[in-house]
Amino acid sequence: MKFLDLAKVYIRSGSGGNGCISFRREKYIEYGGPDGGDGGRGGDVVAEAVEGLNTLIDFRYQQHFFAKNGRPGQGAQRTGASGDDIVLRVPVGTEILDEDEETLLADLTEVGQRVMLGKGGNGGFGNLHFKTATNQAPRRANSGQPGVERTIWLRLKLIADAGLLGLPNAGKSTFLSATSNARPKIADYPFTTLHPNLGVVGVDGAEFVMADIPGLIEGASEGRGLGDLFLGHVERCAVLLHLVDGTSEDVAADYRTIIAELEAYGGDLAGKPRVTALNKIDALDDEERAEKKAALEVETGHPVMMMSGVSREGLTDVLRAVRAEITEDRLRLKKADEEPEQWQP
C-alpha cells in the first residue's frame, strides 16, 4: 500500500427538496384545503477518524464526495425523504484544512471523532405550512436550500510518541528495525527511506510508538530533499531522538544542520525534548569514540549517548532515555501475562 499524507478533495452537501403545492381533492369533500408536504433535508458531508488506516491513498483515486439531495414534498401531507449523508473515513491524526491550505478546520486525533464539513440544506415548506385563518388556500411553497460546496485539503500527521531525526544514512531505519518489529528498507545509499515508518518499541515493560521519517539535508526548509515534506509527522511526538552518524568527519556540523532545519521549519519542533545519540560506534575505536562524543557534547551542551544499531550496543540505554521523556498516559504498560516484544540483546 502506497503512502500518501496530503490529498485535495471536493465535497458538496445535499440540497433540500422543494416544498409541494397541493390541495386535497376527494369526492363529497367540498373544501379539502392545502395538503402539500415539506421537502426532505439534504445529506451532510462528515469526516470520521477510523482505525486501521495510516495513509490517505484512497483519496488519490476518488476526490469528489457528493451527498444525496432531499426529495421534494408530495400531496397528502407527505414530507420528502432526506438525502443520505456521506462519510469520509480518514486515519487518526488527519488535519482538515480549508482551500488556502492554512486555515485549520478540524484535527481528528481520536478514533471515532467526527466533524461536519458540509451541512445539508433544509427542505422547503409545502403550501400546508402557509395555511392561516385569512389565507386558507395558499398557493405558495418554498424551494429547498442549496447544499454547501467547497474544496478542502486532508493532511495526515501520524500519531507517534517519539520521532527519529538525522541526516540521510544516519542509521534511523536500522535503529527502528533493531528495536521493533518494523522492517523498513535499509541500504547503503542516501534517501533509502522515502516515506515515514512506524514501529512499536518496548523497554522495561512499557511500549511506545516511534516514527522514522526520511533524512533531512541542508536546505530542507527551502524544499531540498524529502525530509521537510514529512516533518509534520513528528510534530505530535513527545520527544525526538536525534541520531548522529559517528563515521562522519564532522559530527558537530551534522548536528548543527539538523537543528537549523528544525528552527527554520518553525512550530514547536525546535523546542521539543531531544535525546542525542552518537550512532555507528561499532565502526569506531575507543579513541575515536571519545573524541567525537566530546565534540558533540560541546556542540549540544548536554550529555550525548552512544549506540550502534548494528551491534545493538547501548540501545537499551537510549530507549530508556527516550521513555523517560514520554508521559505515562502515552505509554502502554505490559500486563504480567503478556510476552515481551522488545528486542533481545
> Is 2 known to sit in a ligand binding site?
no
Higher pLDDT pick, 236 / 195: 236
CB 193 within 8 Å of CB 229: no
> Is 333 known to sit in a ligand binding site?
no
> Is 159 known to sit in a ligand binding site?
no
Q: Specify if 341 maps to a domain.
A: no
Structural domain of residue 41, as residue ranges?
1-156
Q: How many domains does the chain have?
A: 2
> Is 170 known to sit in a ligand binding site?
yes
> Is 214 known to sit in a ligand binding site?
yes
> Is 147 known to sit in a ligand binding site?
no
Query: Which H or E element spans position 164?
Result: strand 162-165
> Is 234 known to sit in a ligand binding site?
no
Residue 249 CB contacts under 8 Å (≥ 6 apart), including other chains: none
Average pLDDT over residues 313-332: 83
> Is 167 known to sit in a ligand binding site?
yes
Cell numbers placing 198: 512506524
Q: Given a cut of 90, is residue 198 above it in pLDDT?
A: no
Give the span between the Cα atoms of 307 and 179, in whole angstroms.
12
Average pLDDT over residues 216-244: 71
Same domain, 305 and 208: yes
The pTM score is 0.75
Give 263-277 as a DSSP string. HHH-TTTTTS-EEEE
Q: Residue 49's domain is classified under what CATH number?
A: 2.70.210.12
Cell numbers placing 303: 550529555
Q: What is the pLDDT of residue 211?
A: 81
> Is 169 known to sit in a ligand binding site?
yes
Choose the final residue of a domain: 131, 156, 181. 156
- Find cell 527519529 and name the residue: 164
pLDDT above 90 coverage of the chain, percent: 32
Same domain, 194 and 91: no
Average pLDDT over residues 224-252: 78
> Is 340 known to sit in a ligand binding site?
no
> Is 282 known to sit in a ligand binding site?
yes
> Is 194 known to sit in a ligand binding site?
yes
> Is 310 known to sit in a ligand binding site?
yes
Q: CA separation (Å) from 61 to 7, 46, 305?
A: 10, 19, 45
Same domain, 185 and 127: no
For 147-175, write each residue's pLDDT tens digit. 999 999 998 888 788 888 888 878 888 88
Q: What is the pLDDT of residue 219?
A: 56
Cell numbers placing 282: 561499532
Same domain, 221 and 262: yes
> Is 158 known to sit in a ligand binding site?
no
Same domain, 137 and 177: no
CB 215 within 8 Å of CB 193: yes
Q: What is the pLDDT of residue 166?
A: 83
> Is 191 known to sit in a ligand binding site?
yes
At 121, is the pLDDT very low, low, confident or very high (cuts 50, 70, 90)? very high
Q: Specify if 145 maps to a domain.
A: yes
> Is 15 known to sit in a ligand binding site?
no
Q: Specify if 342 maps to a domain.
A: no
Considering only 41-55, 92-106, 186-200, 281-295, which range has the smallest mean pLDDT?
A: 186-200
Choose the final residue of a domain: 156, 179, 197. 156
Choose the final residue of a domain: 105, 136, 156. 156
> Is 309 known to sit in a ligand binding site?
yes
Q: What is the pLDDT of residue 344?
A: 44
> Is 173 known to sit in a ligand binding site?
yes
> Is 64 known to sit in a ligand binding site?
no
SS3 content of the chain, % helix, strand, coil (to 5): 20, 25, 55
Q: What is the pLDDT of residue 337?
A: 46
71 C-beta neighbours (distance < 10 Å), count: 21
Higher pLDDT pick, 333 / 323: 323
